[in-house]
Every structure is written in structure tokens, then in C-alpha cells.
Amino acid sequence: MRSQGSASTRRSAGVPPAILQGRIHFGAALTGRDTNAVHKTMSGLLKLMYPQPLESERGRLGPGGDALGAGRPDSQEIPDHAIEWAARLALECRRRVKEQQKRIGSAEFRNTHFSFQMGLDGVEQFVSTPELQSEDSIGDDPLPPGQVWVLSPGGLEEHPGLYRLDVTQGPGSGVKILNQPPPAPFKESLRCAEQNLYTRAKTLVGDRDPRAHEFSVQLRAFDAGKSGSATGVGALLALCSALLEKSLKGGLIVVGGLNLGGSIEPVYNVVSVVEAAADKGAKTILLPVTTRKQLIELDDEIATRVTVVFYSDARDALLKALIE
């Protein structure tokens, strides 16, 4: 009897797996062992919050087609926001384990970009830990959809400047800049990005209609640069990322201006730009292919710190920036 009681206790230690089945999906970075550990943590957390969970049509049904536990007056269905809360805590804890394993140097632990999505149509959300990433710094983890780091090449009176573009989208039409008054160079870059999104929507975002959405854009400066000049490619990628609801790769900085016809503007001080990107902590920099020959003058130490990825046009830049 004692062994039966202990087995029963073990079985009821957490919520039944059927309750979570189909309601949450984890990203490809999680191994089977990671997924099992996360499920166990979530199960324990949710059992504390919902001691008598109701297994609804999204979980398991009883013999008569009724939800199991439906007859219990104290039974509760676990809402999606509770599952998301438990998933974030569980993934954060598991990631700390993987980060320590990665420090050992084993290649099998190198991918720690843990993510999840609610349901089949949910947006993929990446989970970091507070000690690994700050909101105001470039980290290895992908930003939420619609956010991108951009580096303005600057000009005669301005050094290269780091910015973050935050774009959200909703019902409506047009593009609204939250910065008031917006810097004139950035306003022009965003206008070119908007027009390119409209005219090349099929090749950039497929069947989604950008004219049926309103975009809210905020430009955040992280150093002395304030103009946001020649950031059209980054602005276009941010608009596409928000519309597609897909994140761009982590540790990425985008460089490049865009004109109304879709041509990429030249970058004349690319060595200074790459050096600035390395100093800001970027792991990858996305550059126009026309800058390739200038990089022969790049210092060897900088070249080993930053991975340079070239693009030929806006669509090529988007494909190389999106998470696969």
C-alpha cells in the first residue's frame, strides 16, 4: 500500500501532459531532454496555481465526451496566459543550465536561443535571462518581431550612429512615426522603405497586404548620432518583420540606405562602420555587396570578431536577416 501511495503521489505531482498538448510548441533549439525538463517545470508550476485542472476539449475528454473533471466544483481550465507565464519561467531556468554547459565548450550546447509559440498560429517568442541580455544592448538573442538594430554610416559632420527601430502593426493604413518631430533624414529613409514595401510586397511578404495595416515606428538612438540617415534597408526589414510576425537573427546590425526605386545607396566609410559595429557588440553585420572591396583594409582583429554578410538587394537582405 505504501508503494502504491507513493506512485499515486508521483503521478499527481503535476498537471497531466494532455492539458499542454497542442497548446504550446517549443523551438528547434530545444533537445528532447530540454523539452522534458521544461515540461516538468511547467507542470509543477501550473499544479501549484491550478490544483484541480480541468481537461477540456484542448486536452483529454472522458468516455462520454465530457471534459474530465467537469463534475468537480473546484476544477479550473488553465488559461493561455498562465501557460505562457510558466513556459517563460521554465525556459529561463533551463537556459541557465544550457549556458553553463556551453561554457564547457561542447559544440552540442552552442544553440541556446530557446523559444516557444502558443498554438500553431502564434508568434514565436524568444526567452532570454536578465543577466545575459539588456534591453539597451546588442545581445545574441533575437529581438521581437518588428525590432532591428541599424547603423547609420553618418556623413561629413556625423560619425556612424547606432539605432534601434521598433515597429508595431495593427489595423489601418499608413506609417506613423512616434518621434516628434522626426529627424528629416530618417523620415526620408522611412518614406523610401514604405514605398518599397508597397511596390514589392509580393516578393517581400507574400500574400500579406501592407496597405491594410498601420505601422507605428520609433527610432531610438544609442550614441551621439541623431539623424538616422541612410537607414532605409533596416527600416524596410523592420516593417517586413512586423508584418510577417517573424524575428530577425540575434546579434545582427543592418547597414544600408534605400532609394524610391529600390536601389541600395553606396557606403563609402565601410571600415569605420564595421569597426563601430564591433565596438557595439554586434556578432553579424549585413552590408551591401558593393562594399566588399573596401573591406580589404579592415583590421584582422575586427574581422575575427564580426561576421560580414553581404546582400545584393532588399529581398536578399530580408532572406538573410530572418530566422530560418
pTM of the complete model beyond 0.85: no
The Cα diameter of the chain in Å comes to 84
Residue pLDDT, tens place only, 153-210: 987 678 899 999 999 999 999 999 999 899 999 999 999 999 999 999 999 999 999 9
Specify the CATH class of 147-321 in words.
alpha beta
Tell me the C-alpha to C-alpha distance, in Å, between residue 200 and each of 166, 183, 253, 261, 322: 21, 26, 23, 10, 17
Distance CA 311, CA 15 (A): 48
13: confidence class by pLDDT, cuts 50, 70, 90: low
- Average pLDDT value for residue range 306-318: 97
pLDDT digits (tens, 9 = 90+) for 32-69: 888 899 888 988 899 888 888 776 544 444 444 444 44
- Is pLDDT at 107 greater than 60 in this prediction? yes
- H-helix or E-strand containing 317? helix 314-321
Instruction: Tell me what pLDDT residue 27 has.
Output: 86
Average pLDDT, the chain: 85
pLDDT band at 277 (very low <50, low <70, confident <90, very high): very high
Least confident of 67-76, 174-183, 243-252, 310-319: 67-76
Cα Rg of the chain (Å, integer): 24
The order of strands in the sheet holding 213-221 is 175-177, 213-221, 161-171, 147-152, 252-254, 284-288, 307-311
Give residue limits of the domains in the chain: 2-126, 147-321
